[in-house]
Amino acid sequence: MRPRAIIVLAKGFEEMEAIISIDILRRAGIDAIIACIDHDLLVEGSRKINVQAQVKLENVDFIPDAVVLPGGMPGALNLEQSERVIELIKKTANDGKLIAAICASPAHALVKAGVLKGKTVTCYPGDETLFLPGTLYKKQDVVVDGNIITASGPGTTYDFALAIVKKLCGQDVAEKVKKAALIK
């Protein structure tokens, strides 16, 4: 069975972080499901690009192999304020599954979900002040610590998505996708 990942979109999401992640995951053969927290399946990003979600998060009735949270503003704040998102993060983490968040989302949704204690993470520069004691911030593009993958922002999305692929499908698949997509 193919790994399943849920990419959660909220109004104001960072388009590059969402679309590149979805694309790379699908190239790897991962069932990348686009979910939204809003009432409408058409979600407007921070740059006013609309993306069609496949399902409302409230209708997801399984724990995925990975939850992927794009950042962007106010997208990251909207994810943080969604009890459904926080509940999904907690359940996914409790099952030992992968949590991947980029840009502002690690410092917002992952902090609120309480899954970062004892973890080393990164985020959008400046948002590291939001991490609670017990979380170690590293100023790096992508940080992998156990079942948590974090990245700093839009320009790091290819490496972020490939780290997810590596965790779910292995190094060989990640290298194959990287090579085929001409990612340096």
Residue 115 lies in a domain: yes
Sequence-ordered list of residues with C-beta below 8 angstroms from that of 179, at least 6 positions apart, any chain: none
The predicted pLDDT at position 38 comes to 86
Examine residue 20 and state whether it is found in any structural domain, yes or no.
yes
- Calpha distance 30→2 (Å, rounded): 6
Averaged pLDDT, 114-126: 97
Residue 94 lies in a domain: yes
In a domain, 184, yes or no: no
Q: What is the per-residue pLDDT for 1?
A: 83
Catalytic residue among 36, 103, 123, 169: 103
Is 163 a domain residue? Answer: yes
Q: 148: which strand partners?
A: 99, 145
pTM of full prediction above 0.85: yes
What's the pLDDT score for residue 183?
Answer: 96
The model's pLDDT over 62-103, given as tens digits with 9 standing for 90+, comes to 999 999 999 999 999 999 999 999 999 999 999 999 999 999
Conformation bin of residue 137: beta by default, left when phi > 0, alpha when psi is -120 to 50: beta
Mean pLDDT on 101-108 = 98
If one counts the domains in the chain, the total is: 1
Structural domain span for residue 103 = 4-178
DSSP reduced 3-state for 126: coil
Q: Which of 127, 161, 169 is nearest to 144 (CA)?
A: 161
Alpha-carbon Rg for the chain, nearest whole angstrom, is 15
Look up the CATH number of the domain holding residue 12.
3.40.50.880
Q: Examine the pLDDT at 39 and tell me if it is beyond 90.
A: no
Active site residue 169: no
